[in-house]
Structure 1
């Protein structure tokens, strides 16, 4: 039994579950005023999140024991389903606050673009692990897989969702870089991606407002574009070092919009102060560190690219959210992985971490076998 338990990366798994349970507590704290207003139930959002946690844990434990190599057999199916789901969103998706990003399935809403992030990582890790002979050739090696990624990017922009689309480009670029592409090819791709994102950001009036407002939210408060960030500033300042206490946030009382989703970190900072913020950062650091270790120990290029792609995907999401809440970047609408309210985001994070956990599990198995063989050799020599 102990040998079986040794196969798992308990630091990685512990950080994942600690963040998820912490997030559930903070979702209740941040959302109970809104739950009372919407459904006369302070546990309204917690109950819905618990449904997704139950689904997510079921999927997590299955995929944790599903060999990551087998995903290679399903890459064409994964890519096809991803593209079809994005097309369905454009055709019959549910419109919320001017964005058509969800497909309703009974009482639940699913955001396909969240799952596309994992599909892109799997697809690029697989293709570039097979294209090592041509990785130095831009036309034959680097470019063809990116055509599909650009197509997905375009479908996501039709929703529109620049934050998710940008994340996909960044993760894709990271996988291309780690696969060994030449610097001049990377610079070319980076320049094209920057131009595309900049053009999309500056040509949409509401995105332009966000870009301008994050630089000076107080000037644009009366227009509404700076209000959310100002309330986030107030929440974080109010919390100080020690926080006001769990459940004692003032800003969640209808001052701070979306306190349980995009801006849950502001509520955490207000109620738990710097200690709550440090707890989250330490958990993310442990996940990233153990993910990098697993990637470095993985012997297959597909597994290495997959592990690093997942680590950077989670890091980009985390950085985008924390930077938006603290006013260092424009508001993108990206949630805080494992902590924010949101079923699709939670499920995708758990799927990604289950794959990462399987890679780490195999790496630990290799270490155990290596130490066993070394011990056996020493015993034989003695």
Structure 2
């Protein structure tokens, strides 16, 4: 009697499968993976803001916990807003996308009149103890409008130049208002997301060649004719040429990465955060993380971000397969947005791309960015929820039909 030898197989734990792809056959009405990823990034961000902000908070406010307390409040506020946003159906976002775009334009106009100026940039609206960075909700509302436009005019976008140009005109208006702040980083994020979404919607290749050529030309002109932007590019190419001037921030960041090595110096043992590295708790929080947790820590954050982006893109594909076009395009836009912003933030701190002042999604200090990214994450959960409900209703209908 011969025994059958079963092949050796490795099964991943269920929670890993749910995080990366989602529980397709689970009876749950939402994807727990989005929630798990969001909470992990919240906690990592809270720890890193705490360790990186204490020296500067002690000097500015005589309270080392000033920024970490505010960051904790932003997290609680984000969760509260998320609970409300989760109840809003996707049909509401699609129906009111034009009004949301108008509100975004209004915010960008208001900030130019009554906004607070910090380091030469007028980007914040002060509402008592709260400051709102107008560009953050503007990104989300523009992407809602763009997704709704592609649902209404997808055939025009694919067939003629007129349908392709219309959303670019809207983008041009927003870009003009953002340049007055100035905020070139947000413009680049919106441009890349628009470019990627139009490509996924099926626009023709020659349109993209033309769009990319014009976009690169205009961005180059903006850099060349603005001295401080040109200094950023030249210092990025060789920061050690002027390590105490235009290249100071990047050289300090690179030192943090170098000290981190493989496993890092340990939590709280960063030297660069002792006010050697400017903006250590906001734009350059990843440099402090690299110094304290090394290559392993940075790789962990990259994997978290990659999993979140992968899930967003997978959700967009699934929504389009279910003929939920607005939901699919918006999920794609959120995925591209999060991917590019995370890449620019990490790339800037590592000297791969010029510094652009973009936060690390769900990790860096900043209330407006935290709340906006949380709403974007909640929208992904809502899209997944509605798709699951649709599938459950279709299954129950089939079962009732079979019984009858």
TM-score, structure 2 length as denominator? 0.89
1:222-266, CA deviations, whole angstroms, 9 ceiling, x for partnerless residues?
3x1111111111111111111111111111001111110000001
Is residue 306–residue 339 contact of structure 2 (8 Å, CA) maintained in 1?
A: no
2: CA distance, partners of 1:368 / 1:194: 46
Q: Cα deviation per residue 1:123-173 (whole Å; 9 max; x = unaligned)? A: 110011111231234443111222111100110011011111111111111
Could you tell me how far 1:368 is from its partner in structure 2?
4.2
Match for residue 300 of structure 2 among 256, 279, 300? 279
What corresponds to 1:325 in structure 2?
A: 349
Q: For residue 296 of structure 1, report the CA deviation from its aligned partner.
A: 1.4
Is the counterpart of residue 254 in structure 1 residue 278 in structure 2?
Answer: no
Q: Give the conservation status (yes or no) of the 8 Å contact 1:231–1:256.
A: yes
Shift of 1:122: 0.4
Confirm or deny: 8 A CA contact 1:214 1:329 kept in the other structure: yes
Partner of 1:45: 67
Counterpart contact for 1:12–1:286, Cα < 8 Å = no
Distance 2:198 2:400 in 1: 41
Q: CA deviation at 1:58?
A: 1.0
What are the residue-to-residue correspondences of 1:256-271 with 2, within 5 Å? Answer: 256-271=277-292
| 1:75 shift after superposition | 1.5
The yes-or-no answer on 1:105 pairing with 2:114 is: no
**Pairing 1:290–2:311 present:** yes
Relative distance call for 1:367 and 1:273 in structure 2 (3 A) is farther
Distance 1:149 1:91 in 2: 21
2:173 pairs with 1:151: yes
Give SS of 2:131's match.
strand
Question: Which residue of the partner structure matches residue 153 of structure 2?
Answer: 131
CA distance in 2, matches of 1:133, 1:379: 38
Aligned 1:75-114 pairs, distance under 5 A: 75-114=97-136
Residue 269 of structure 1 and its aligned partner are, at CA, apart by 0.7
**Cα distance in structure 2, aligned partners of 1:41 and 1:327:** 32
Residue 284 to residue 21, structure 1, CA distance change in 2 (3 Å): same
Match of 2:382 in 1: 358
CA contact (8 A) 1:120 1:172 kept: no
Which range is displaced more, 186-195 or 23-32? Answer: 186-195
| 1:307 counterpart residue number | 331
Query: 1:237 is matched with which residue?
Result: 258
Aligned equivalents of 2:65, 2:27: Cα separation in 1: 36
Identify unmatched segments of 5+ residues in structure 2: 1-24
Report the CA distance between 1:370 and its aligned residue: 5.7
| Alignment partners' CA distance in 2, 1:138 and 1:201 | 32
Aligned with 1:201 (options 189, 210, 223): 223
C-alpha contact (below 8 Å) 2:104/2:142 kept by paired residues: no
- 1:32 matched to 2:54? The reply is yes
| Partner Cα separation in structure 1 for residue 250 and residue 397 of structure 2 | 57
SS at match of 2:241: coil
* Structure 2 match to 1:17: 39
Residue 244 of structure 1 aligns to a residue in which SS? coil
The yes-or-no answer on 1:8 pairing with 2:30 is: yes
Tell me the distance in 2 between the aligned counterparts of 1:378 and 1:218: 73
Q: Tell me by how many angstroms 1:17 deviates.
A: 1.0
Return the offset for 1:292. 1.6
- Quote the Cα distance in structure 2 between the aligned partners of 1:46 and 1:323: 25
Alpha-carbon distance in structure 1 between the residues aligned to 2:88 and 2:315: 16
CA-CA distance at 1:364 after TM superposition:
3.0
SS of 2:52's partner is helix
Equivalenced residues, count: 377
Equivalents in 2 of 1:377, 1:219: separation in Å? 74
Task: State whether residues 49 and 67 of structure 2, in contact with CA within 8 Å, keep that contact through their aligned partners in structure 1.
Answer: yes
- 8 Å contact from structure 2 (residues 49, 364) kept in 1: yes
**Aligned mates of 1:284, 1:365 — CA distance in 2:** 27
Q: Which SS does the other structure have where 1:136 is aligned?
A: helix
Q: How far has the Cα of 1:49 moved from its partner?
A: 1.2
Aligned partner of residue 131 in structure 1, secondary structure: helix
Structure 1 residues 278 and 366: alpha-carbon distance in aligned structure 2, compared to 1, 3 A threshold: farther
Backbone CA RMSD of aligned residues: 2.0
- Structure exhibiting the larger radius of gyration computed from Cα positions: 2
